[in-house]
Amino acid sequence: MTLEEIVGSWPGEKSERPWGYYMVLLDTERFKVKLLVVHPRKRLSLQRHRRRSEHWHLVQGEALVTREGEQIRLVAGESIDIPLGATHRIENTGQTEVVVTEVQRGEYFGEDDIERFEDDFGRA
């Protein structure tokens, strides 16, 4: 099954962003699971969260992760933890979609828990 087939058949909402999109796969009181798709040559804002940590597992593509100023290259099959309060971003450095599963843990998972420091789309 292709990514397009999975996205097209998913009953949940697809949230479009300037860098790509995400879909919420599971949302509970203690954790939330998302699928992130980052378009080629796009990146998320440099950000941090005050109320949650994240675990990213790269399913497809190649990415450059910035975490607390350190730049870490990931390829499909690799994972990284983003601790509570750490500045972070993910960038698609390749020519194909980057697909990431994101597991959030904490006390709150709302989009208003994003504090942006830099953003390619004027949202900081």
**pLDDT digit string (tens) for 1-58?**
677 777 777 777 899 999 999 999 999 999 999 999 999 999 999 999 999 999 999 9
In this predicted structure, what is the pLDDT of residue 12?
Answer: 76
Residues in the chain: 124
For residue 3, is it within any domain?
A: no
**Domain range holding 69?**
17-110
Distance CA 57, CA 81 (A): 9
In this predicted structure, what is the pLDDT of residue 4?
Answer: 76
Query: Considering the chain, what is the average pLDDT of its residues?
Result: 94
In this predicted structure, what is the pLDDT of residue 9?
Answer: 76
For residue 120, is it within any domain?
A: no
pTM, rounded to two decimals: 0.92
Domain count, the chain: 1
